[in-house]
A and B are shown apart, each in its own frame.
Chain A
Amino acid sequence: MINLEERISEKKSFFNRLIIVYIFFAGLFLYFLYKTFLLQISSYTDYEIASLENKTREVLLQPRRGVIYDRNGNILVNNVPSFNLIINPSSIENIDDHLNEINQIINLTEDEENYAKENFSRLAKLNRELVLKKNLSTEERSRFKVRKYKFPNTFIDQRYSRENLYPFLFSHSLGYTGSPEESDIEEIFLNQNLKPKEMIFSYSNGYLIGKTGLEYTYDDFIRGRFGKKIFEVDASGKFLNELRVVDAINGKDLFTSLDLESQKVAYEQLNRRRGAVVAVDINTGAIVTYLSSPSFSVNKIANGMTQKEFKLLINDDDKPFFDRAAQGRYSPASTIKPAIALFGIENNIIDWDFTLDDPGYFILPEDGRIYRGWKKGGHGNINLNDAIIESSNTFFFSLAYKSEIEDLTKHLSNFGFGEIVCLDCFLPDSGLLPNPSWKMNNLNFGWFKGDTVNLGVGQGYMSATPIQLAYYASFLANKGELNKFSFVQDNDNKEVKKNIFLSNNIDENDWLKLHESMIGVIENSKGTAGRLRALKDYTIAAKSGTVELVSTETKEDYKIIREIEGQRDHAIIIAFGPMPNPKYAVSVVIENGESGGSVAGPVAIEVLNALLKK
């Protein structure tokens, strides 16, 4: 036992120690309270959001892509619903076995099987669906339905596929759609204020974006906005009930300026020959016909194509994917002559009364080099009008010889050469308008006078795309006043280029005379495109050209080189009509077609006929 004194000190010690422990725990209690305060009051908003995100899932609702129309309201591209057989590659182990099992119920073609095998592992990695077969019949659907339990990772669902009603007609102008890349989706989502988190959880399959052509350039416009369904979910991710729906906003329909009828005519006329046709409404700059040939089926590209088919297209010597209309570079050849003529008049080098003796060649005074015309013996004593009608090279060699190259290129750039002339074309090329500094930088050679002389007949380094040639033709037709080109007539964003041309030295009279001589190209008995006269019953102005790929001295030499098709001259023509008040301008290039007047010419006339309903 302990005595009283000790008892008192013991009580005191106990007292102190218990208080110490309580104070220690009181401190912990306060710290806990502080932590709770931080959670519930200071960071309340963060945690409220976290709890909200925890319990909701947003499933995206896809907008319907806008329909694309031609200028008369004909549907060109539409969305077609179809019932598709779809698998989830990421949860299927062996695609071969799976296909075999499916094949016992729904017959897959060899192409469909190949497509599935080729894309299986890629889509599995991306966690995207794989469409095995499209457009299932009612019978196929019901056959699958009763055996569905055997295939937990396979289902039938409705998907919209993008269908171009004229898949070969508008391959390059409208382009095609395809599955978006991860980065595309990210950008679109960012644009539409959707969070990447939603992307991971509920990226809806089957979404398409434009890859080329107008589908690409107007993707923003025809894409629409995603809607969403917001579900309450539990911790296991099970959907409990629908909280809210934000409807998707369908894409706007695109009314293009394209004209289905003339496009059909252009396609038939080119008949898979290599070349391009571009026609425009000169008053608005609206492109009405746009064909690059040969073409390919955009539907096949957009909706699944086996590698074999794709390789065939890629390796085709005619290069069907290449958009010749916007990217093909061709020498303008003799079609450049009206522009050179205007340069001569503008700079007082010549006038309409000026004459020149054409012996069939031009000798460059500096080095005595001979530049030949196309006609042996020449065109005799000719003025500017004759020179255009008969396409005298000598006349324009001589005129170019008298020109300053810097002035000449500046002049030509007004016609759209070396420039981007189209507002909404897909990856247009600007061609090449050469000048001395370009030559020095790229070829490491100084500019020769002979280069300027060659430019006078559109040969040499200069090149232009068919769309630039069409722009040039419209420019001539409209007497130097023109909008930039566009596929959409009432495009609000159109950069209007009222280019009142050149200088006071060119007046209305000059324009009329120029038009007159270009009419003569067809109507005059000496015209280079006289054969076109019979194809129409109204007046058309034109200028043909023949692009020399291999330089030859004589017709006999040419006969030798033309044995190889790829060495034959390109046929080229620009035309506009009906005169005297032209509405449409057209350019046609046919690769290795040899004669601008008689090969490219008929195509141009038929397209104009279709446009003018004659």
Chain B
Amino acid sequence: MKNLLNLRNKTIYFDKYLFISISLLSIMGLVFLYSASQANTVVVFKQSIFVLFGLLLMFFLSQPDPNFYKSNSLMFFGISIVLIVLTLLIGKEANGAKRWLDFGFFTLQSSEIIKITLPVFLAGYLYDKKLPISLLNTFITLIVILIIVNLVRIQPDLGTSLVILMSGIYILFLAGLSWKFIGFSSIAFILSLPFFWNNFLEPFQQQRILTLLDPSADPYGTGWNITQSKIAIGSGGLQGKGYQMGSQAHLDFLPETETDFIFSVIAEEFGFIGVCLLLTVFIFILLRCLYLALNARDRFCRLTIGGLSLIFLSTVLINLSMVVGIIPVVGMPLPFISKGGSSLLSFYIAFGIIISMASHKKLMQK
């Protein structure tokens, strides 16, 4: 394989497992989206463009040497912060939230970019620090993370800010955060939960969490989405109702079928068998990432692959847990499946970086 791609004496960096599985997932996503969007060809066409562009982006981003990312991580991070601040200043407002920068042909959700650049930046910062990470470095890292998280939270975008928080903490943890610190901060976190509940959550966010505890208490109000999603998934049964045959999705009982709740559509139309097949692809990608992380050439690459793959994993799990009612509805797409520009592209970027980290071997090892 490598030989075939070794054209014009230039090595092409490539991971066939990830590339094939992500392409497969993207194509499956297009098929599901066609049904979830009520056979809306415009939506599917737009998504196809994103998929195609995304795959190309992924390919090109896997070409530079990891050192390119390491040495430029501060610059990428800086640009991301500028975008975030710009969003807060001149962003496009929709549904009471300022999350988008309008570029005319494309509206960029800047928080999706920083979700990738923050862990790369932190990996670049922490890769040469002694074990365990000193208290000073821990605090510096945490302060950076919290500033970014808060910039996103005030948009407001609770879901993405949580993912960003996680992405930072993953890197910190993987880089060797001291267990003592973890222990103390966990206790502090649990004790401060009521404070967060009262000061950081909007009333509608509190309501979502309460609804989760008993969705049937309010079936036509805030619990409607979860109830309808459960009905869609449950009524899919083992084999599903058939492609484009999901009544929950097609008669508008299910909300947000193209984005947050696309999994419910899949589960309704393809049943438990379909769900298992889809999960197999996700699990394959994740296991491949685990393998690549464990075999990465240096600490920076390890941290980056580990951190980015865990963001992917978290996003998938948050979406899945949300649609079956394990956690509140926070607004989280299913990567490579849900409709959406920025979040979709952010994962192609993430995997482009992962492949770069994984496929470039150290010169001295050769």
Contact = CB atoms under 8 A, between A and B. Distances in A.
Main secondary structure of the interface of A (DSSP, over half): helix
A25 B234 contact: no
B174 A47 contact: no
B194 to A, nearest CB: 25
Contact of B131 (A6, A25, A48): A6
B234 A47 contact: yes
A41 B317 contact: no
B275 A36 contact: yes
B279 A21 contact: no
Contact of A40 (B170, B174, B238, B314): B238
Interface string B283-301: 1001000100110000100
Contacts of B252: 234-236
A17 B175 CA distance: 9
Contact of A6 (B130, B293, B320): B130
Contacts of A14: 174-176, 299, 302-303, 306
Interface string A50-84: 11101100000000000000000000000000000
B230 A32 contact: no
Contact of B238 (A21, A31, A44): A44
A33 B236 contact: no
Contacts of B302: 11, 14
B272 interface: yes
B321 interface: yes
Given A28-B321, A232-B251, A47 B272 contact: no
A233 B247 CA distance: 10
A217 B176 CA distance: 86
Interface in A9-50: 9-11, 13-15, 17-18, 21-22, 25, 28-29, 31-33, 35-37, 39-41, 43-44, 46-48, 50
Given A31-B326, A55-B251, A240-B251, A40 B231 contact: no
Contact of B231 (A13, A41, A54): A54
Contacts of B303: 14
Given A29-B317, A31-B326, A235-B251, A18 B232 contact: no
Interface residues of B, number: 47
Interface in B286-340: 286, 290, 293-294, 299, 302-303, 306, 310, 313-314, 317, 320-321, 324-326
A534 interface: no
B254 to A, nearest CB: 8
B236 A40 contact: yes
B297 to A, nearest CB: 11
A40 B271 contact: yes
Interface in A98-147: none
A21 B173 contact: yes
B176 A32 contact: no
A390 to B, nearest CB: 83
A51 B324 contact: no
Contacts of B232: 51
B206 to A, nearest CB: 23
Contacts of A46: 234
A2 interface: yes
A154 B235 CA distance: 40
B267 interface: yes
A40 B267 contact: yes
Contacts of B313: 25
A556 to B, nearest CB: 83
Contacts of B299: 7, 10-11, 14
A14 B131 CA distance: 11
B62 interface: no
B234 to A, nearest CB: 3
A560 interface: no
Give the interface size class of chain A. 35 or more
A1 interface: yes
B163 interface: no
A36 B271 CA distance: 10
Contacts of B231: 47, 50-51, 54
B128 interface: yes
B28 to A, nearest CB: 17
A18 B174 contact: yes
A325 B279 CA distance: 80
A1 B253 CA distance: 58
B174 A234 contact: no
Contacts of B233: 36, 39-40, 47
B251 A50 contact: no
A41 B234 CA distance: 7
Interface string A557-601: 000000000000000000000000000000000000000000000
A17 B128 CA distance: 18
B247 A35 contact: no
B324 A39 contact: yes
Nearest to B254: A235
Nearest to A42: B234
Interface in B208-261: 228, 230-238, 247-248, 251-253
A240 B176 CA distance: 60
B59 to A, nearest CB: 26
Contact of B235 (A2, A13, A17, A50): A50
Interface centre among B231, B283, B325 (most CB of A within 10 A): B231
A39 B230 contact: yes
Contacts of A54: 228, 231, 247-248, 251, 253
B57 to A, nearest CB: 26
A45 to B, nearest CB: 9
B44 to A, nearest CB: 22
Interface centre among B235, B237, B248, B272 (most CB of A within 10 A): B235
Given A10-B131, A35-B326, A40-B275, A18 B306 contact: yes
A443 to B, nearest CB: 61
B251 A234 contact: yes
B331 to A, nearest CB: 18
A232 B320 CA distance: 29
Interface string A338-376: 000000000000000000000000000000000000000
B278 to A, nearest CB: 11
Interface string A138-172: 00000000000000000000000000000000000
A54 B57 CA distance: 43
A37 B128 contact: no
B174 A51 contact: no
B294 A36 contact: no
For the complex of A and B, the 10 pairs showing the least CB-CB separation, nearest first, are A47-B234, A51-B235, A235-B252, A39-B234, A234-B251, A40-B272, A47-B235, A235-B253, A55-B247, A44-B237
Given A43-B234, A233-B251, A236-B252, 11 more contacts: A2-B128, A6-B130, A10-B299, A13-B176, A14-B176, A14-B306, A25-B310, A35-B326, A39-B230, A48-B234, A50-B235
28 contacts: A2-B130, A6-B130, A10-B176, A11-B302, A13-B176, A15-B294, A21-B310, A25-B313, A25-B317, A31-B326, A32-B324, A35-B325, A36-B267, A37-B272, A39-B233, A40-B233, A40-B234, A40-B236, A40-B238, A40-B267, A41-B237, A43-B234, A50-B231, A51-B247, A51-B248, A54-B247, A234-B251, A235-B252
